[in-house]
Amino acid sequence: MSDLAKILIVIGLLMVIIGVLLLVFGNIFAWFGRLPGDIHIDRGNVKVFIPFTSMILLSIVLSLVINLIIKLLGK
């Protein structure tokens, strides 16, 4: 089996696990988007949401997960 196939299978399994977690524990990620550093502006008809802290946290977590997957696959 090629390396790309293994990576796609692992990513697919992770997506299924995350989907099941979201179904079972619906509010498990309710805090996401409400972290200190996320900008919410609500003035009249204008609503702006800029999730700086949430996106930095997501980037760090995804980088760690991808690096772990690569190391586990023997690269």
8 A C-beta contact, residue 73 and residue 6: yes
pTM for the complete prediction? 0.63
Pair of tokens at residue 40: 């919410």
Angle at CA 45, nearest 5°, toward 41 and 47? 30
List pLDDT tens digits, range 24-64: 887 877 888 889 999 999 999 999 999 999 999 999 999 99
Residues 35 and 57: beta-carbon distance below 8 Å: yes
In DSSP terms, which residues pair with 49 in a beta bridge?
Answer: 40
Q: Residue 29: its pLDDT value, please? A: 78
d(CA 32, CA 58): 9
